[in-house]
Amino acid sequence: MMQQYIQLYPDPGQLLPHQPPFLLVEKIVSFSSEQGIETEFFIKEDFLFFNGHFPNNPIVPGVILVEMMFQSCGLYSRLFKSGSPTAGLNKVEVEDKKSDGRAIKIKNLVFQKEVKPGELLKINAKFKQHLFNFMTFDTEIHSGIDKVAYGEITLLVK
């Protein structure tokens, strides 16, 4: 018997202007306007950057992890602004949201563990504050039980 899968949240590609190969969030796991967002991304062995980072010892570049954090925060801001975070978002509303948002600030970012191919990453962005057109988040990336990176991220949201 096949299990039915109900997708609670929109596909990240519907909400972000990024597209593969630079769409670095595959799934929204949970969202709370008061708490934040959790997303996932699986690190595939065939990512182009592994050819040079590093041959025979592939490691995900830190900037890729930072981009995952920013994209997760961008997803939070779009769901927050939509007022309806479930898969029933109006397509017009989603298209309007693709153009807003910019990475503004990274504070106290720490990389604790190397990330290798074959790892499933959980990206958590805890909503911290919304001031004028800026949103600030405390972010963490986990691989299994290991925290691999964390820091504070600020976005400009229009």
What contacts 126, CB < 8 A, 6 or more positions away? 35, 36, 137, 138, 139
φ, ψ for residue 82, nearest 5 deg: -70, -30
Question: What token pair was written down for 132?
Answer: 């004028």
Q: Which of 18, 53, 130, 142 is catalytic?
A: 53
Question: How many other CB atoms are there within 10 angstroms of residue 122's CB atom?
Answer: 18
Q: Integer distance in angstroms from the first to the last C-alpha of the chain?
A: 46
> Cα separation of 99 and 81, whole Å?
13
The sign of the dihedral angle between the CA atoms of 140, 124, 16, 23 is positive
Is residue 142 among the annotated active site residues? no
Which positions are annotated as active-site residues? 53
